[in-house]
Amino acid sequence: MSAIDELFRNLRSNGSKAFMPFVTAGDPDLPFTAELLSELARAGCHMCELGIPYSDPIADGPVIQASFTRALDKGIRLQHIFDCAAQVLPALPMPVVTMISYAIIFRKGVQRYVAQAKETGFAGAIVPDLPIEEAPPLAEICRREDFSLVQLVTPTTPRDRALRIVESSTGFLYYVSVTGITGERKELPPDVIDNVAQLRRETDLPVCIGFGISCPEHVRMLAPVADGLIVGSAIVRRLANPKQRGRHAILQEVRHCVDELLAALNPASDSSPNRG
């Protein structure tokens, strides 16, 4: 059983849902990323997605694209991220997964990437641009290594294709709430609730929702049908301009945002022993 499997088993046993922030590795720099991961764990986050900066992101909106650009402009590369993560991940009480382009994995080598990511302390990888037709080699290695491979289903994914994605995925299934790119939105489409409910009837995998979630109202809307919620742009935009605002102020602002969303997600319980 992977760390992600164990997390969702424990959450389901007490009727709680997972809160998963997304942050970009190396924005504004890697020491700050390490500090931020620790702060997110202390806040009570159940899992974290660490975005690996990439020059040609597929589904990321302007906030995350700008974050990737800032990190790449500083020369951040995959090995730097692994070196930093190896220092912080073993001490965290929450699993951390990479959100990474398959181009990076392929260039490094599938077997080599999984082995090094697992050795570093990552629990899995979300690979948004991996076509289901090309997924079997990576999926087989991930299953063998107990390293979760999370794949995405969108509102426009045909049902038969969605079922193939379900069969290839481990850890949890990432449901994209909107058609389009990442980014904060004032409203989410009402059919997301029915779509996720249908998907949950077709798999035992936890189904987590991402894209567009940015406020407690969104969390309260989606929590009844989801196993977890993913928030990216609402957090990443708070990481910009650290020189003008100060790192301590940024951490406080992120913590305040996370506290509000966590309170909306699991209002009647404190399911995380790492709350602080």
User: What is the rounded CA–CA span in Å between residue 69 and residue 55?
Assistant: 7
**Could you give the count of Cα atoms lying within 13 Å of 121 in the half-sphere of its Cβ?**
20
User: What is the rounded CA–CA span in Å between residue 29 and residue 75?
Assistant: 10
- In a 3-state reduction of DSSP, which class is residue 90? helix
Show the DSSP H helices in the chain as ranges.
3-13, 30-43, 62-73, 78-88, 102-108, 110-120, 136-145, 159-168, 191-201, 216-222, 233-236, 242-245, 247-265
Do 81 and 37 contact (CB within 8 A), yes or no? no
Which among 5, 60, 184, 227 is annotated as catalytic? 60
- In a 3-state reduction of DSSP, which class is residue 209? strand
* Token pair belonging to 248: 């301590």
User: What is the rounded CA–CA span in Å between residue 87 and residue 82?
Assistant: 9
Which among 6, 29, 39, 49 is annotated as catalytic? 49
Active site residue 60: yes
Residues known to be catalytic: 49, 60
